[in-house]
Structure formats: C-alpha cells, structure tokens
C-alpha cells in the first residue's frame, strides 16, 4: 500500500476520535501535527505479538495491557491481565495516572491496530511517553501466537524456528500443563521498549 494512503488511513480517523471524546479542558496538547506525523511514520509505537507473549509468559510486572474496545467486547474476550479503557473514555481524569506514568509499559490493543493506534496518538499528543500499540491487534495475535500456520516444506529454517517459538508461546499462554520450562524463553530475549521517566507532578502549594 502507498505510504501516503496508509498514513491517511491512520490520521483521518484520529480527527473523528478526537471529536468524539470529551473535550480536553485541563491538559494542553504538547505535540504539533508534523511532530506526531513523524512519529507515526517511524512506527516505533508498535510492539510485536512475540514480545508481548514473552512478557506474559515471564510474568513481567512492567507490562500493562490496555484494551480500548467497548466493555461488552472486553468481557467476551481479553488478553491475560488486561484492563479496559474504552477509546471514548481515554481523556477521563480517572485514567490520567494510568496513562501518564514511568513505572509500567502500557500497550494498547483492539481487534486490529486502528483503534489502539488512535489511543496512542491521543496520548502522545498529550506528551505521554510510555504507551505503545500491540502490532496487528487481537486478529494478528490469534494468527501468530494462538494459531500459527506451519510453514511449507520449502520454507527456510528461520521460518520453522519462528513457527516453533510462536507455537510454544501459544501453548504456554493457553494453559497447557505439559509445557516445558524451556518455553519460558519461547519468544527469545526481551525486546520491549525502555520505560521512559516522566516529570514528577508538583504538589499544590499552600494548605490550611
């Protein structure tokens, strides 16, 4: 797909989402449109399913999965340990401390990448740094982790290795009691983005 068309498919829905969410009256936007567009083009916000599977298997305490779908969709199915913040509630003050912090690596996900990427763009425009997007969303998660397709007989050794790793990760996350300890390394070394510190919030002066 033409890169310009791809960016248009991402940026145009962002305007619709911003129009739908509650008006932001307290937090100033910190990124200009060109700055945000540059980050979108670099695609550094995306985290692969393999990395997320690795973190889940290892019970990495720094990972926080955020499902931006509706509550109804979340209750039907969600990733292990995920919390639900519907996209239209993203600017609610009750979620500010979750989205703007330097302890957890937040990873947005939805069925595909679009809604989660919109959530990332909104939080980046607010200047938040520790938010990412699950590449491909739940659809790609199912294809790569829960139901990976076995390579053809003419595939490379690398493709077979990737398949074995994905299959091992899927078995571990599916609760298979026969999973061996070696599958804790199914997704290889952790490639998660570094958590970036954010400026500490100043306490209000004065008082009784």
Domains of the chain: residue spans and CATH: 3-22+29-136 (3.40.250.10), 142-185 (no CATH)
Banded model confidence at residue 69, pLDDT cuts 50, 70, 90: very high
Banded model confidence at residue 139, pLDDT cuts 50, 70, 90: very high
CB 128 within 8 A of CB 91: no
Distance CA 144, CA 49 (A): 7
Give pLDDT tens digits for 83-122: 999 999 999 999 999 999 999 999 999 999 999 999 999 9
Q: What is the pLDDT of residue 49?
A: 93
Q: What is the pLDDT of residue 83?
A: 97
How much is the mean pLDDT over the chain?
Answer: 78
Choose between 4 and 75: higher pLDDT: 75
> DSSP states of 71-86 as a string?
HHHHHH---TT-EE--
Choose between 145 and 181: higher pLDDT: 145
CB 41 within 8 A of CB 8: no
Choose between 201 and 51: higher pLDDT: 51
Q: What is the pLDDT of residue 200?
A: 60
* Beta strands, E only, 15-164: 46-47, 63-67, 83-84, 105-109, 131-134
């Amino acid at each position: 797909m033409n890169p310009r068309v791809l960016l248009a498919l991402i940026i145009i829905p962002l305007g619709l989402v911003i129009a739908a969410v509650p008006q932001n009256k307290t937090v100033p936007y910190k990124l200009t449109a060109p700055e945000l567009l540059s980050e979108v083009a670099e695609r550094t916000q995306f985290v692969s399913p393999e990395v997320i599977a690795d973190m889940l298997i290892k019970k990495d305490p720094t990972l926080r999965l955020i499902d931006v779908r509706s509550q109804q969709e979340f209750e039907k199915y969600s990733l292990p340990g995920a919390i639900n913040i519907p996209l239209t509630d993203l600017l609610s003050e009750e979620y500010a401390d979750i989205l703007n912090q330097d302890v957890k690596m937040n990873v947005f996900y939805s069925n595909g990448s679009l809604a989660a990427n919109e959530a990332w763009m909104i939080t980046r425009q607010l200047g938040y740094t520790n938010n990412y997007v699950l590449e491909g969303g739940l659809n790609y998660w199912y294809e790569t982790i829960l139901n990976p397709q076995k390579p053809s007989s003419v595939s490379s050794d690398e493709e077979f290795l990737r398949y074995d790793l994905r299959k091992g990760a899927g078995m571990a996350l599916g609760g298979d009691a026969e999973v061996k300890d070696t599958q804790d390394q199914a997704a290889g070394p952790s490639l998660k983005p570094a958590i970036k510190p954010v400026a500490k919030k100043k306490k209000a002066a004065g008082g009784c």
